[in-house]
Structure 1
């Protein structure tokens, strides 16, 4: 008979597993939210009782499976873990839309009833209860199709004053937040690598959150990263999910695959007679996992030649920008936000990060935030398409700096 250890892979550190208290609290909150959806929708649906019963059964199933999804990475049996991951991710996406539309429905009904009681129609309670699950299903389907297709190519020009002619047109292809996991595997990553290589970049920047799971589980699926090709190589910085998944092991694995891992350090590149500094920092909250790896843009630039034409920082989270600008970088490339991934969560990202997506000006430094090349948990993208970003350095006149400029125009193409 299989032992418990045969089926469950215990985390190497308690930091890698969700705390028991968190799981209990999350389960209780999810119970309340599922009950809210059921009480506000099911009694008003004009359907037979057996259909209403199916609705209750789905809500109970959803409530039970969502907490289990958080633990799927610790299941040794990969078939079971992947199945649970897929079911949980799809369920999470549908539940999210159901919750949002149920709340919007209640808000709309309450607003009409309070402000325009003479216009309130009881039938609206019925048809709106029908509309909510239909809209949730439609958004989940469209979001799934958007998430599962290969990321589009986004073209960005970065205007830099004083850029030497040798670096005009220097291209960086950025990929970020792929989240190789139960639902994103080798085939998905192969398509990304092929698209990146087709762009023939001078440099490739991988700005963190490549994985969700341990090396033993996912190494076969991250192997395509070894095929990344660029004139000056592919550079990697850690994201918060690498620390959730065993950062030391993953950094070693990525180095084995040929990526240049930058942890609060830099490399100087010579390109047609001009020098360029490419620096990288650990994740903004890395010190919560490894105290000696606190993110430090100043350390990443320490010892760099003062006459370097351009200083570029790879930093997973946009909120590294303040320290990066102070340190003296000209451009920061980040990810982490997913652009919100799907509505309405893009509005909540702004509560934590200074920038959500696109090109922004932070003092004298440019910040570009990728919407991510994969997705996290729900295979769902709406209003925030995934991207493979091709950034091109271009010369700008000395007086082109304008404080506060944000969301520089860009074009996109791709599948």
Structure 2
């Protein structure tokens, strides 16, 4: 631009070239916003229709208040999520966003089921003029009960699940080896330092030989979650305590979590292995980074089973820790004896277990893959996001390794 305020030809050309680029950048953003708005509307429409719609027949002020609450949530939720899980990492905002999302999801699920029940009542000509209100009250009561129970299930110390795993190549000296599995502790916006200490006590009470943390240790950095992770330093195991990264570490300083676990006395299996021995028998404990590691941008972080097994005696059985069950085809191809995973939470809030099954080969439990490889998928000890577990109980798993054949269900 000259002193007179006119635009030079070169500047006009540059601005003309920049305009399409700005348009291309705005396009994906607007599409993401449109998708978000659509998802929020779809989540809120069934609860509104079932609880406050014309069929319920509530007085005007009740309908207006219910509508206002749902609209206020739709408007505020994206901002709370950004404040809670973005760069600011406000735990207060995250707590509200996560909890409210869980409430809306449960209301959505049971409103859809309530709507189907209403259609059935209509077809059977039951309920009369109060049919809609009966359905609304029933849906609200069921949702409230499930949310109260689900919150209790999420916040309690997990129950112990005991499973025998038969490994044909396991030597007699290691028969009866007790492997305790923790996964998906997800230390996060709700301070669960006391819960973490009680989990440690429960693990130690099992008198384990090996303790495995299968990843997703926290939502937040090691500094943010230092107090919650501290009790892991008191976990006891006769042979080894091992840890691998999960996908959530790659949003919150994965290398820092590897360092933090080493500081607490654990062995981070960052694409490496160690060997435990007893009674003349040996077992290779190997671990790989999560499958999302390669796209994290962190140097040296990727899923590398070849590196994890480098130098291991092929005659020894291998227990591989990989956060996501869907890594099991690679484990089976490599002849791994047992893979231990987490990640799925068992679905956490029904009916998410059906959605998890689309992405993962197994939602929970012991399964066989190929001739040699078995997979144990833990439901996890904690929860992610909404502090609820509905029909997907948390667990601390005690795997007892046995020599011999097995036929997992």
Superposition TM-score, scaled by structure 2 size: 0.85
Q: Report what 2:100 is aligned to.
A: 91
Q: Report what 1:72 is aligned to.
A: 84
For 1:238 and 1:346, the matched residues in 2 are separated by 23
Please, which of 137, 150, 157 is the counterpart of residue 157 of structure 2?
Answer: 150
Q: CA deviation at 1:226?
A: 1.3
For 2:150 and 2:250, the matched residues in 1 are separated by 28
Q: CA deviation at 1:50?
A: 3.1
For 2:86 and 2:226, the matched residues in 1 are separated by 15
Q: CA deviation at 1:56?
A: 2.1
- Summarize deviations over 1:178-233 as a string: whole Å, max 9, x none: 10001242111111111111211111100000100122322222111111111123
Please, which of 175, 199, 212 is the counterpart of residue 206 of structure 2?
Answer: 199
Instruction: Give the 3-state SS of the residue equivalent to 1:284 in structure 2.
Output: coil
Q: Report what 2:256 is aligned to.
A: 249
Q: Report what 1:377 is aligned to.
A: 385
Please, which of 261, 281, 291 is the counterpart of residue 284 of structure 1?
Answer: 291
For 1:180 and 1:65, the matched residues in 2 are separated by 25
For 1:84 and 1:60, the matched residues in 2 are separated by 18
For 1:75 and 1:378, the matched residues in 2 are separated by 20
After superposition, the CA RMSD in angstroms is: 2.3
Q: CA deviation at 1:133?
A: 1.8
Please, which of 47, 57, 63 is the counterpart of residue 74 of structure 2?
Answer: 63
- Summarize deviations over 1:5-61 as a string: whole Å, max 9, x none: xxxxxxxxxxxxxx9975663244213432443244313334443333332232133
For 1:118 and 1:56, the matched residues in 2 are separated by 29
Pair 1:168–1:244, CA change in 2 (3 A) = same
Please, which of 124, 136, 155 is the counterpart of residue 131 of structure 2?
Answer: 124
For 2:272 and 2:203, the matched residues in 1 are separated by 25
For 2:133 and 2:377, the matched residues in 1 are separated by 43
Q: Report what 1:105 is aligned to.
A: 114
For 1:56 and 1:210, the matched residues in 2 are separated by 38
Instruction: Give the 3-state SS of the residue equivalent to 1:384 in structure 2.
Output: coil
Instruction: Give the 3-state SS of the residue equivalent to 1:332 in structure 2.
Output: strand
Instruction: Give the 3-state SS of the residue equivalent to 1:293 in structure 2.
Output: coil
Q: CA deviation at 1:343?
A: 1.2
Are residues 1:141 and 2:116 paired?
A: no
Please, which of 213, 219, 222 is the counterpart of residue 215 of structure 1?
Answer: 222
For 2:33 and 2:181, the matched residues in 1 are separated by 35
Pair 1:75–1:290, CA change in 2 (3 A) = closer
Q: Report what 1:307 is aligned to.
A: 315
For 1:33 and 1:160, the matched residues in 2 are separated by 46
For 2:84 and 2:195, the matched residues in 1 are separated by 20
Q: CA deviation at 1:274?
A: 1.4
Q: Report what 1:15 is aligned to.
A: none
Q: CA deviation at 1:234?
A: 1.2
CA contact (8 A) 1:298 1:323 kept: no
CA contact (8 A) 1:281 1:314 kept: yes
Are residues 1:169 and 2:173 paired?
A: no
CA contact (8 A) 2:250 2:292 kept: no
CA contact (8 A) 1:207 1:238 kept: yes
CA contact (8 A) 2:50 2:114 kept: no
CA contact (8 A) 1:268 1:278 kept: yes
CA contact (8 A) 2:171 2:282 kept: no
Q: CA deviation at 1:82?
A: 3.0
Where do 1:270-281 residues align within 5 Å?
Answer: 270-281=277-288
Q: Report what 1:390 is aligned to.
A: 398
Instruction: Give the 3-state SS of the residue equivalent to 1:215 in structure 2.
Output: coil
For 1:70 and 1:234, the matched residues in 2 are separated by 35
Unaligned 5+ runs, structure 1: 1-18, 407-415
Pair 1:391–1:184, CA change in 2 (3 A) = farther
Q: Report what 1:38 is aligned to.
A: 48
Q: Report what 2:19 is aligned to.
A: none
CA contact (8 A) 1:62 1:95 kept: no
Please, which of 293, 301, 308 is the counterpart of residue 293 of structure 1?
Answer: 301
Q: CA deviation at 1:120?
A: 8.8
For 2:194 and 2:82, the matched residues in 1 are separated by 23
Pair 1:191–1:23, CA change in 2 (3 A) = farther
Q: CA deviation at 1:236?
A: 0.5
